[in-house]
Amino acid sequence: MRSLYAVFLILCHYNFPAAALSDGLKARRGRLKTSNQTRTQTVKTAYIPSAGIRNIPGLADFLPEFRIQKKPVGADIVIGWGLRPSTRKAREFAAAQGLPFAALEDGFLRSLGLGVDGWPPFSMVFDDIGIYYDTTRPSRLEQLILAADTLPPETLDEARRAIALILEHRLSKYNHAPSLSDGLLQEMRQRQTVLLIDQTAGDMALQYGGADAATFERMFQTALAENPQAQIWVKTHPDVLSGKKQGCLTDLARQNRVRLLAEDINPISLLQAADKVYCVTSQMGFEALLCGKPPVTFGLPWYAGWGVSDDRHPAAAELERQQRRAPRTLDQLFAAAYLQYSRYINPNTGKAGTLADVIDYLSAARRLNEKLRGTLYCVGMSLWKRAVVKPFFNVPSCRLKFVKSADKLAAEAPPPDTRLLAWGSGKDEITRFAREHNIPLLRMEDGFIRSVGLGSNLVPPLSLVIDDMGIYFNPETPSRLEHILQHQTFNQQDFQTASLLQQVLTENKISKYNVGSANFSVPKTDKTVILVPGQVEDDASIRHGSPQIRRNLDLLKTVRERNPDAYIIYKPHPDVVSGNRIGRIAPEDAARYADQTAPEADILTCLQHADEVHTMTSLTGFEALLRGKKVCCYGLPFYAGWGLTQDTLPIPRRNRRLELWQLAAGTLVYYPSYVHPATRRLIDAATAVEILKQHKKLQKKNNNLRRSWLNKKLEKAKQFYRSLR
């Protein structure tokens, strides 16, 4: 019954939203403020006739000042989407009832993937006057820019920090595309390159930005005439590349000296490589400004007429005469558009957030998207485990496929961008197939902040590591984690994040599995207390990373021989205690070398009593470092060799001396991926820690290491069901 009750608790929790982040983890140096977090919470009733708008994920958090309803009764305001023809009835209803109308649109830093492919927005604009791309009349953004000359210095500082981060991480409205290839970059550097930005036919920004097909023709011919020696490159819109829409310059580009960029390319990387940029009303024109490439504009985009671009549309000067334009700096334009006009949700929590939240999330998601780009074949994985791992690969550029065997894969004739995906070190069949067919192999493994409960008991993980170089527990070859720790340039934000994670992990007693009893004590002693964590003896980390000592009993003997006067606590591995894995030491043998054995105790409770930890390769050594304990390594775990541990074995590749926070940042922030157990969406380490805190509270009375056969079957069934949703 206890096991069934534990399952009930887990199922209940998975249907509850994660608790709000602690104040400490929400804190970031130089956090960027956004209007939806500081807005007065006066709740009004908003009538939104469109079911599509009402179904936007996080809509209520984008619009915290409104109670959203699908019927007009008692409405204070009517809300629709931009200037789409579908909003006509809503606008007419608002006018007939004497109600205000407000328009929504995607924000300028929207999502990881394309909206037409179903990727939800992380930013949105709300305009109760007009809409930013309609220059035929005023908009809320226009008014904010006109007032931007009074912005305080700290707001402009925020804008500059955000611009720097956007350029550093090459973030745009959509963020699925790869950076400009080395081949194209070299080609662009060979001669002057003029970039023309195409747009989708029928785009509302063209219709209301004073542009039509003739405008694109005029831009095209002007660019040819003004740059007779240059190579003309035409960048098509992502929606055109996806086959969802048609472009305006596609036919014009088919001539000498003109290159149609049919490839999907990250906009910032492309703009940074161009010498000159021409556009009509595209948002890429503003991004060109961010890159220090003032665009030549032929329509009337929101950023035209403020003195920062070369505006060729005849109505641009008229806007200034109407006092709808005035000289403004790039920082002022950005602050008004991205900090004041746009609203954000935190992608990790789904709640109201900041521009900084979105920048942090998209920068990490972009790194993962690039690491996983291409076709990944996972061989021989069971159905329930497929459901568990699938969300970790849910990025736009990854095509994850499952096959039963290497023979089945050979029969499929995999495409050129194929890589194999294996659990841990990989079964012999998989590694042999990869070697014989010269196919790269990625490896995955549980992360370091995993779950409340054991993986061997089929408790699904909140984190995975996906390694494109090796795997962290095998020091025989470099891993992506080792590469990060050896080469990453860690910054102040990394320091803040890692320090806060360390604080929350230690204060809340969070470890990898979070199982065992806290009812453990050690007799008062003046001796040095040494904790010896047992391991699963056939674990790959021992096979590859502990060449001299491979058995728990041998480790215990060695520690006693080297520390005859110490008080030694032996903590068997929970997978061994549960009966799921090998590595048991007979009680009489343990008693010969250890003063105390703690089979059912929580590892962190044991750590609390210890002065030192002596280990082969156990993760407990890393957890001990986070808690300020001395760590002696008899093998080569990932945290050895950086100057933080006392090491028995050398590893010359690791010649960088790290601070503890740098080790934590690389290990907990840069290396793993985290997934929310309820939403199945990628989250960051801070959110994962908060979720584990809630899991621990729900299951604090149900830390049994052993799980029944029925309980395990129920978990498999649940995961399989989730994969079908």
pLDDT for 719 beyond 70: no
In this structure, the dihedral spanned by the alpha carbons of residues 138, 355, 147 and 294, taken in order and rounded to 10 degrees, is -80
Give the number of residues written for the chain: 725
pLDDT, position 262: 81
pLDDT, position 712: 53
Residue 78, strand partner residues: 47, 101
Q: Name the amino acid, one letter, at 275.
A: D
Q: Classify burial at 207, counting beta carbons within 10 Å of its beta carbon; exposed 0-12, middle 13-18, buried 19 or more.
A: middle
CB 279 within 8 Å of CB 194: no
- What's the rounded mean pLDDT across residues 243-256? 81
d(Cα 66, Cα 475) in Å, to the nearest integer?
Answer: 55
The residue with tokens 């970059």 is 185
DSSP E strands, 535-671: 567-571, 596-597, 612-615, 630-633, 646-647
- Please give the DSSP secondary-structure letter assigned to residue 114: -
Q: Could you give the C-alpha distances from 333 to 154, 158, 281, 337, in angstroms and in order?
A: 15, 13, 16, 6
Q: Which residue has the higher pLDDT, 515 or 308?
A: 308
Nearest CA to 550 out of 563, 560, 536 is that of: 536
Helix (H, G, I), strand (E, B) or coil at 43: coil
pLDDT, position 253: 78
Q: Is 132 left (phi over 0), alpha (psi -120 to 50) or beta?
A: alpha
- What's the rounded mean pLDDT across residues 288-293? 98
The residue with tokens 């549960």 is 578
Residue 442, strand partner residues: 421
Nearest CA to 688 out of 348, 411, 350, 398 is that of: 348
Residue 242 confidence class, pLDDT cut points 50, 70, 90: low
Helix (H, G, I), strand (E, B) or coil at 342: strand
- What's the rounded mean pLDDT across residues 618-624? 96
CB atoms < 10 A from the CB of 622, how many? 24
* % of the chain residues with pLDDT over 70: 89
Q: State both tokens at 507.
A: 């204060």
Predicted model pTM: 0.87
d(Cα 550, Cα 555) in Å, to the nearest integer?
Answer: 8
Spatial CB neighbours of 434, under 8 Å, sequence gap ≥ 6: 420, 426, 440, 441
Nearest CA to 692 out of 357, 352, 461 is that of: 461
Element containing residue 704 per DSSP (H, E): none
- What's the rounded mean pLDDT across residues 78-99? 94
- What's the rounded mean pLDDT across residues 94-115? 96
Q: Where do runs of H (alpha helix) occur along 262-382?
A: 267-273, 284-290, 315-321, 330-334, 355-371
Rg (CA), the chain: 29
pLDDT, position 209: 96
Strand order across the 276-279 sheet: 258-261, 231-235, 193-197, 276-279, 296-297, 310-311
* 660-678 per-position pLDDT tens digit: 999 999 999 999 999 998 8
- What's the rounded mean pLDDT across residues 475-486? 97
pLDDT for 355 beyond 90: yes
pLDDT for 45 beyond 50: yes
In this structure, the dihedral spanned by the alpha carbons of residues 11, 15, 20 and 26, taken in order and rounded to 10 degrees, is 80
* 135-162 per-position pLDDT tens digit: 999 999 999 999 999 999 999 999 999 9
Nearest CA to 664 out of 719, 625, 634, 696 is that of: 625
Q: Which residue has the higher pLDDT, 244 or 14?
A: 244
- Choose the most confident range, by mean pLDDT, from 1-5, 402-406, 428-432, 486-490: 486-490
pLDDT for 11 beyond 70: no
d(Cα 388, Cα 489) in Å, to the nearest integer?
Answer: 32
pLDDT for 581 beyond 90: no
Q: Name the amino acid, one letter, at 256.
A: N
* 530-557 per-position pLDDT tens digit: 999 999 999 899 999 999 999 999 999 9
- Please give the DSSP secondary-structure letter assigned to residue 444: E
d(Cα 108, Cα 66) in Å, to the nearest integer?
Answer: 23
pLDDT for 709 beyond 70: no
Q: Name the amino acid, one letter, at 394.
A: N
pLDDT for 31 beyond 70: no
pLDDT, position 22: 39
Q: Classify burial at 638, counting beta carbons within 10 Å of its beta carbon; exposed 0-12, middle 13-18, buried 19 or more.
A: buried
* 168-199 per-position pLDDT tens digit: 999 999 999 999 999 999 999 999 999 999 99
d(Cα 495, Cα 408) in Å, to the nearest integer?
Answer: 47
Lowest mean pLDDT: which of 48-52, 235-239, 347-351, 560-564?
235-239
Question: What distance, in Å, lies between the first and last C-alpha atoms of the chain?
Answer: 29
In this structure, the dihedral spanned by the alpha carbons of residues 277, 281, 286 and 291, taken in order and rounded to 10 degrees, is -20
pLDDT for 25 beyond 50: no
Crossing angle of the two packed helices 355-371 and 153-169, in degrees rounded to 10? 10
* % of the chain residues with pLDDT over 90: 73
d(Cα 318, Cα 135) in Å, to the nearest integer?
Answer: 11
- What's the rounded mean pLDDT across residues 310-330? 95
DSSP letter string, 203-271: -HHHHTTT--HHHHHHHHHHHHHH-TTSEEEEEPPHHHHTTSS-BSSTTTT-STTEEEE-S---HHHHH
d(Cα 369, Cα 254) in Å, to the nearest integer?
Answer: 32
The residue with tokens 């109407």 is 322
12-15 contact pairs (CB < 8 A, 24+): 12/698, 13/677, 13/694, 13/695, 13/698, 14/677, 14/678, 15/678
Lowest mean pLDDT: which of 4-13, 53-62, 514-523?
4-13
pLDDT, position 694: 84
Residue 344, strand partner residues: 123
- Across the chain, mean pLDDT equals 89
pLDDT, position 241: 66
Spatial CB neighbours of 34, under 8 Å, sequence gap ≥ 6: 339, 342, 343, 344, 353, 354, 355
Residue 20 confidence class, pLDDT cut points 50, 70, 90: very low
pLDDT for 704 beyond 80: no
CB 556 within 8 Å of CB 532: yes
pLDDT, position 514: 72
pLDDT, position 288: 98
Lowest mean pLDDT: which of 35-49, 425-439, 681-695?
35-49
DSSP letter string, 521-562: -----SSPEEEEE---TT-HHHHHH-SS--SHHHHHHHHHHH
The residue with tokens 């140096």 is 29
pLDDT for 389 beyond 50: yes
Spatial CB neighbours of 648, under 8 Å, sequence gap ≥ 6: 548, 632, 633, 634, 635
At residue 642, φ and ψ (nearest 5 deg) are -110, 10
DSSP letter string, 369-398: HHHT-EEEEEES--HHHHHHHGGGG-STTE
Nearest CA to 571 out of 623, 533, 608, 514 is that of: 533
Q: Which residue has the higher pLDDT, 290 or 600?
A: 290
pLDDT, position 12: 38
